[in-house]
Structure 1
Amino acid sequence: MCRGLEFATLGSIALELSLDTLVQEELGEKPYRTIDGDVKLGLLILCDHAQNRIPEDFHTLGLRPEDLHRHTAFDLGAEGVTRFLAKMLGAPAVISQFSRLLVDPNRGLDDPTLIMEIADGLVVPGNVGLSAAAREERLDRFYRPYDDAVGGMVGAAIDAGRPPVILSIHSFTQAWKGVPRPWHTSVLWDKDPRLPVPLLDGLKTIPDVVVGDNVPYSGQLKGDTLYRHATARGLAHALIEVRQDLILGEQGQAEWAAHLARVVSGVLQSTDGLNTIEYHGSHTGI
């Protein structure tokens, strides 16, 4: 873990905050959570893979409890980082409240990995041979409400005269197939450089942190959340990945949120043209 939080005010908030002090609402079947924030800030934070929650009527999709704690079910630590970051910056956020194994909100409707029968070698019995009707039920119950919530907050910000920068928070595993991943954090992006380039520059100022650029995944994914809500609408955007072993506990989540808050705040204040609509297209075609 990197040491020495540079942004003192946010750093102290991060270390004092506990997720237990943040507003906890009774979600029931609600497939997303929103955090209120200042639309004038010009920033919307998303967390697509926040939870491993699978409602009881899906019978864990036939998986063992331990399978639901793997990276294939959700992005460990990402929700905590998102909530701390939103609190520190006073920014609105939309956070999914269902496992990506049910349906992946960060995929397009025609993506073959939208509902995975096999996830990183793990067969998901409840997804095998899924009927068209069952697929539509999942889309209506989970995917579309989350997608509509994101679209609604984006539209409200645009209507208020402040097209938002969209920042999506994810996490990645420390190793893949036995090969260690050296990066502590990474920025994924497509063709629009407005947000990712200054983000990369800012993240590289964090002492003892290795920053990746479009690794271990690519930000060029047609139909994903940022494609649908940012690329297609001409909004500046980026996806930040943080390595999971750094954010498994609340202290790590708070520390990394403080790092991101300092960098993001600096980028928002010093970069021209972020809150304007500019169509840069996509390497995947648009």
Structure 2
Amino acid sequence: MTESVAPGAPFETLGEDRPGRWLVTCDHATNIVPPWVNGGDLGLPEEDMARHIAYDPGAAGVTRALAELLNSPAILTRFSRLVIDPNRGEDDPTLIMKLYDGSLVPANARLTRGEREARLERLYRPYHQAYADLAARRRDVAILAIHSYTPQLRGRPPRPWHIGVLSADEDRRLAEPFIRRLSAESGLCVGDNEPYGGHLPGDSIDRHCLVPGRPNLLVELRNDLIQTADQQRDWAERLAPALQGAAEQAEV
């Protein structure tokens, strides 16, 4: 296995020489704020930086375990989504959030054009270039994007789903057989485009899958279910056979 990460690098890659056809991605792997971004501090309290607004808790561990089980490479970000969100298009107004789930982000309140461009050039664009390079390594690559979500947004009702599968209307080749396999499991509440739906123009799946026509799945796990390394591994072991079976059934 190869593992590549340099100090201060905006992304980490795992298993670039693995032969599997999947590319497992984690757009929101960490809550790291690089030191050159406002001195490494966005002005939020530690409890906010530990919440889902700063990253996807548990998603990195699931990503690593799934990539190993699928014998495929993975790429994970090494910067907080509050610094800049790689799962947004460059023109998306939510690319750099000033307010998220009730929390103001002081360092983003008066962001200059130069500061925004630096975050794009030093974090966002290198990540997406590496993502594109890994995705292009073979013609039959399938993308598996791993995310997690909070059980309840502030002031909103609890979310009942254990797992959500997001897909765009124009490509549900993998989503439909994958959802059927998961829904057959007793006691598992599966969301089809829940807790939110589909994709946004210019986001990671649109850019790397829908535009070039690659089969894809975006999996959202409720983050209270993947808090520990054992839980993350258990979910990976649960999902890997369903993923492989869905790909075989879809014949992609």
TM-score bin, normalised by smaller chain: over 0.9
Aligned equivalent of 2:149: 172
Aligned match of 1:200 in 171, 179, 182? Answer: 179
1:264 alignment partner, SS class: helix
1:12-60, Cα deviation, whole Å (9 max, x unpaired): xxxxxxxxxx987663111111111566532111100010011233331
- Does the CA contact (< 8 Å) of 2:24 and 2:63 recur in 1? yes
Equivalent of 2:62 in 78, 81, 88: 81
SS in 2 for 1:262: helix
Which residue of structure 1 lines up, in the alignment, with residue 132 of structure 2? 151
Q: Which runs of 4+ in 1 moved over 4 A?
A: 22-26, 37-40
d(CA) in 2 for partners of 1:172, 1:210: 14
> Cα deviation per residue 1:146-205 (whole Å; 9 max; x = unaligned)?
1001101112223xxxx2111100001112234111100010000201111111011113
* Residue 95 (structure 1) aligned with residue 76 (structure 2): yes
Q: Hey, what does 1:182 align to over in structure 2?
A: 160
Alignment of 1:17-166 (within 5 A): 27-36=6-15, 40-58=19-37, 59=39, 60-158=41-139, 163-166=140-143
Structure 2 portions without partners, runs of 5+: none
TM-score (norm 2): 0.93
Give the Cα–Cα distance (whole angstroms) in 2 for the partners of residues 204 and 131 of structure 1.
47
Conserved in 2, the CA contact under 8 Å of 1:82 and 1:169?
A: yes
Deviations 1:63-122 (A, max 9, x none): 222221011000000000000111111111111111000000000011000001111121
Provide the secondary structure at the position in 1 that maps to 2:138: helix
Alignment of 1:235 onto 2:218: no
Normalising by structure 1, we get a TM-score of 0.83
Q: Deviations over 1:210-268 (max 9, x none)?
A: 00000111123111100000000011112000101100111110111111111112223
Q: Distance in 2 between matches of 1:187 and 1:148?
A: 25
Q: Which amino acid aligns with 1:76?
A: P
Letter in structure 2 aligned against 1:127: N
User: Secondary structure of 1:187's partner?
Assistant: strand
Residue pair 1:166, 1:237 contacting (<8 A) in 2 also: yes
Indicate the RMSD between aligned Cα atoms, in angstroms: 1.7
Aligned amino acid, residue 29 of structure 2: A
Q: Is there any run of 5+ residues in structure 1 with no aligned partner, and where?
A: 1-21, 275-286
Percent identical: 42
| CA–CA separation in structure 1 for the residues paired with 2:5 and 2:216 | 31
Structure 1 residues 112 and 193: alpha-carbon distance in aligned structure 2, compared to 1, 3 A threshold: same
Find the residue that maps to 1:241 and give its secondary structure. Answer: strand
The residue type paired with residue 82 of structure 1 is: T
**Structure 2 match to 1:12:** none
Aligned to 1:277: none
Closer, same or farther in 2 for the Cα pair 1:41/1:268, shift >3 Å?
A: farther
Letter in 2 for 1:253: Q
Given residue 216 of structure 1, which amino acid in structure 2 is its aligned partner? P
